[in-house]
Structure 1
């Protein structure tokens, strides 16, 4: 077992997993927390070969924490979220994160609450943006329930069943590459979005230069 991962999860325990899941789902300071890899690793550690946790308390507790976290984010956005657009950049807050979540929400509508679960940073700010936009609470709850269920249950049970398949003496060999793969998949969407934005800006800049050049030549 990877010493660092095992030590970290052992140190925070079930309550720590709940707190991290809750914080990343709806608190502004939670955007940097490793929700995907943490849930997967916790599920892995709950497998019979390791047995650090009981799987059902882990799954149910993390699921409740995720759903409640999004609700807290929604209520915060509804009551005080507009002030975020006026806040300056700091160590724990970047206005661009709110704008990214806003753009994601505008593009996907209510289903953004479900899809955002699988996109770091956006999943923290999406419920806040939904609150700012006064999204119907019943509709928000519906998408929040689906997203929280698929995300938490999918990540933890994937780790759990993989832990059952991998031989105990091979755990060290497989866990770190798998967790690294999950982290990589988690950051690919925002990296792709950043690439598209930069590419679009580059083409726009090139287009502007060509227009100026042709005007000069003509």
Structure 2
């Protein structure tokens, strides 16, 4: 029987952004698909991917199955080994993505984020770099740690570090700490909450809450951008 919660999931996100759909559709390759998405979000300016919710969801799937009473969907031996493998793979993906992002920013520089039309202009929007610059100015090198938990900023922070020619040894130290914190907190939270009976019995509802929490910051950023654009246009016309 279809639950009420499952009816709302498609309304929140398309299937290709739904963490449950992504993990279930990938089947035995779920961990590697999630690792690829995490890598892309951290290093290739694909800021709209559901990194936070995917980490949380795959953590939950190391503790529960798709249906009530079934074993964990993600398994690599016993539970300890499974959680260890998932954490290590996703940590490597996150840090590797950041290193790639750093070198993209270092080699291509500001020219990559110039105003342009179409999809490329929306993804490589200079406003994202400006926002990340402000974050850097406020928090310094610790931005590489804090930004892990801030959608959009997380995606562009490594490129900005590369554009600014941040010392690579300093960069890799901070980005590794941030990667460890992000992956461990999200995956472990999902794993432990997945063992709570209420979460197991309301698994789809829990995933909906994850999706909502992940979407809220992006929705706020989108609304802010929509508010700023008309103001900028009016200012330009009065000059």
Question: Is TM > 0.5 for Structure 1 vs Structure 2?
Answer: yes
| Deviation of 1:86 (Å) | 3.0
Paired with 1:110 and 1:189, the residues of 2 have a C-alpha distance of 25
Paired with 2:172 and 2:218, the residues of 1 have a C-alpha distance of 26
Paired with 2:222 and 2:182, the residues of 1 have a C-alpha distance of 20
Paired with 1:150 and 1:105, the residues of 2 have a C-alpha distance of 19
Superposed CA RMSD: 2.7
| Deviation of 1:89 (Å) | 4.2
Residues 88 and 64 of structure 1, relative CA distance in 2, 3 Å threshold: same
Paired with 2:201 and 2:100, the residues of 1 have a C-alpha distance of 42
Find the partner of 1:36 among 25, 29, 52. 52
Where 1:164 maps in the other structure, the secondary structure is coil
Q: Is it true that 1:170 corresponds to 2:202 in the alignment?
A: yes
| Deviation of 1:189 (Å) | 7.7
Residues 76 and 111 of structure 1, relative CA distance in 2, 3 Å threshold: same
Q: TM-score if structure 1 supplies the norm length? A: 0.79
- Specify every segment of 5 or more residues in structure 1 that has no aligned partner in the other structure, as ranges: 206-218
Find the partner of 2:73 among 11, 34, 52. 52
Paired with 1:90 and 1:57, the residues of 2 have a C-alpha distance of 40
Paired with 1:189 and 1:164, the residues of 2 have a C-alpha distance of 32
Paired with 1:178 and 1:16, the residues of 2 have a C-alpha distance of 19
1:75 alignment counterpart: 103
| Deviation of 1:109 (Å) | 1.4
Q: Is it true that 1:15 corresponds to 2:7 in the alignment?
A: no
Whether the 8 Å contact between 1:17 and 1:38 is mirrored in structure 2 is yes
Where 2:166 maps in the other structure, the secondary structure is coil
| Deviation of 1:139 (Å) | 1.1
Q: Is it true that 1:88 corresponds to 2:116 in the alignment?
A: yes
Larger helix fraction of residues: 1
| Deviation of 1:157 (Å) | 0.6
Q: Deviations over 1:89-144 (max 9, x none)?
A: 43132221122112222222111111111111111111000011111111111110
| Deviation of 1:188 (Å) | 8.0
- 1:1-218 alignment to 2 at 5 Å? 2=6, 5-12=19-26, 13-28=30-45, 30-48=46-64, 50-53=71-74, 54-91=82-119, 92-167=123-198, 168-184=200-216, 186-187=217-218, 190=221, 194=224
Q: Deviations over 1:187-216 (max 9, x none)?
A: 488579x49x96xx8xxx9xxxxxxxxxxx
Paired with 1:72 and 1:170, the residues of 2 have a C-alpha distance of 38
Aligned residues: 197
